[in-house]
Amino acid sequence: MTGTTRPRIRLLLPAALAALAVTATTAAASTSPTTTAPHPVTSPDHRAHAKNPKVMLDAWLRLWNGDYTEAPGIISPEFTVHAALLDGGDGSGIHGADGLVAWIAQTRGAFPDLRFSLQTDPLIAGHRASVRWTATGTYAGGFPGAKARPGTRVTFTGTDTLRIEDGKFVEYWLNSDTLQLLTQLRAL
């Protein structure tokens, strides 16, 4: 994402974070004269990840850390999200690599330097993989009800469970510590 504008897109993210990003981004976008969407995702070689869950999970982590180039190589066009959102949504509105990238980009608008790291080695069994992560970033402001000042550092945790089919991720279940994040934003 370039410039200071933030896209107005319905997102999900680690359950609470997505809802935070939607609200913060919508508030910021309503005061901006124009908004832009993230650029479409492209990748030089989609075959590099096929059928290697460990390599796919490494690319998944890079994707959440803002490197969108490998998304088409690991995300199926049929990709769907399952997550409980603060706005009451279930995450079913995100599809494919472009939908996921838009969601991540919008989330990163509320926390521009957001950095995900793994807490443990991934668990891989058959067509499923699961990772436990920690996210740390700086709040950029704009979330209604948050009393935290822009510049507040936040850290929260979560677990991603992914289903793999034909060498790509096709389903994503998210569980993140919403209470931990909202407490740090002083939004409770």
Domain spans, the chain = 15-184
pLDDT value at position 178? Answer: 86
CA distance 124 to 69: 24
H or E segment and range at residue 56: helix 53-64
> How many C-beta atoms surround the C-beta of residue 69 within 10 A?
14
- Give the helix ranges, DSSP H, for 31-142: 53-64, 71-74, 96-110
What CA–CA distances, in Å, run from 128 to 42, 92, 171? 25, 19, 9
Percentage helix, strand, coil for the chain under 3-state DSSP, each rounded to 5: 30, 25, 45
CATH topology of domain 15-184: Nuclear Transport Factor 2; Chain: A, (3.10.450)
User: Per-block average pLDDT, block size 10, for the chain (188 residues)?
Assistant: 36 38 34 36 47 92 97 97 78 92 87 96 96 97 86 97 97 94 92
Task: For residue 101, give both structure tokens.
Answer: 């990238």
CA distance 90 to 92: 6
| Four-residue CA torsion sign, 114, 82, 48, 45 | negative
